[in-house]
Chains A and B, each alone.
Chain A
Amino acid sequence: MEKFTRDDVHPKILEALLADTELTVEDALENEMILNMGPQHPATHGVLRLLLRLDGETVMGCVPELGYLHRGYEKLAENMSFYEFIPHTDRLDYLSPMANNVAWALAVEKLLGIEAPPRAQYIRMIVTELARIASHLVAIGALAMDVGALTVFLWTLREREKILDIWDILCGARFTNSYTRIGGVANDAQPEALAKVKWFIGQYLDNLDECERLINTNRIFIERLEGVGIISGDDAVDMGLTGPSLRGSGVEFDLRRAQPYLFYDKVDFNVVTYPDGDSLARYFVRADETRESIKIISQSLDKMPQGETLLNQPKKVLPKKVEVYSKMEELIHDFMIVNFGVNPPVGEIYSAVENPKGELGFYLVSKGEGHPWKCKIRSPSMVNLQSVPRLVKGQMISDVVAIVGSLDPVMGEADK
Chain B
Amino acid sequence: MEFKELIEQKIREKFAGRNFSFSEFRGELTLTVDKKDIVQVCTLLKDDGDLQFKLCEDITAIDHARRTDRFTVVYHIFSLKNKFRLSVKADVDESDCSIDSVTPVWKTANWHERETFDMYGVRFKNHPDLRRMYMPEEFEYHPLRKDFPLMGIPGSLSLPKSPLNPPKGDLK
On chain B, the residues within 8 Å of A237 by CB distance are: 54-55, 80
User: A67 and B163: CB pair below 8 A?
Assistant: no
Q: Chain A interface: which of B8-16, B34-42, B102-110?
A: B102-110
Question: Is residue B18 within 8 Å, beta carbon to beta carbon, of the partner chain?
Answer: no
Q: A349 interface residue, CB < 8 Å from B?
A: yes
B2-39, CB < 8 A from A = 25-26, 28
Contacting chain B: which of A271-279, A299-307, A357-365?
A: A357-365
Known A13-B137, A67-B135, A238-B106: A75·B80 in contact at CB below 8 Å: no
Q: B166 at the A/B interface (Cβ < 8 Å)?
A: yes
Question: Which of B85, B115, B150 is within 8 Å of A79, CB to CB?
Answer: B150
A238 contacts B108, C-beta separation under 8 Å: yes
A191 at the interface (CB under 8 A from B): no
A111 proximal to B (CB < 8 A): yes
Residues of A within 8 A of B107 (CB): 238-240
**Once the chains bind, are A239 and B108 in contact (CB under 8 Å)?**
yes
Question: Does A348 have its Cβ within 8 Å of any Cβ on chain B?
Answer: yes
Of A2, A349, A361, the residue contacting B57 (CB under 8 A) is A361
Q: How many A residues face the partner with a CB closer than 8 A?
A: 45
Chain B residues whose C-beta falls within 8 Å of the C-beta of A349 in the assembled complex: 25-26, 28
Residues of A357-376 at the interface with B, using a CB-CB cut-off of 8 Å, are: 359, 361, 363, 365, 373-374, 376
Q: Is B69 an interface residue (CB 8 A)?
A: no
* CB of A331, distance to nearest CB on chain B (Å): 30
* B: interface residue count bin: 35 or more
Cross-chain contact A363 with B108 (CB below 8 angstroms): no
Contact B150 A75 (CB under 8 A): yes
Prevailing SS type, chain B contact patch: loop
Residues from chain B with a CB closer than 8 A to the CB of A374 are: 60, 62-63, 144
A327 on the B face (CB < 8 A): no
Whether B137 pairs with A67 at a CB distance below 8 angstroms is no
A245, chain B: closest CB distance, angstroms: 13
Of B55, B112, B133, B161, chain A has the most CB atoms within 10 Å of the CB of: B55
Interface string of A85-114 (1 = CB under 8 A from B): 000000000000000000000000011010
Instruction: Check: B83 CB closer than 8 A to any chain A CB.
Output: yes
Closest chain-B Cβ to A409's Cβ sits at a distance in Å of 13
Interface of B toward A, CB cutoff 8 Å:
25-26, 28, 54-58, 60, 62-63, 74, 76, 80, 83, 85, 87, 106-108, 110-112, 115, 119, 129, 131-138, 143-144, 148, 150, 161, 163, 166
- Seen from chain A, the residues whose Cβ lies within 8 Å of a Cβ on chain B are 1-2, 8, 10, 12-13, 16, 66-67, 70, 72, 74-76, 79, 110-111, 113, 237-240, 242, 251, 253, 258-259, 347-350, 352, 359, 361, 363, 365, 373-374, 376, 378, 382-383, 386, 415-416
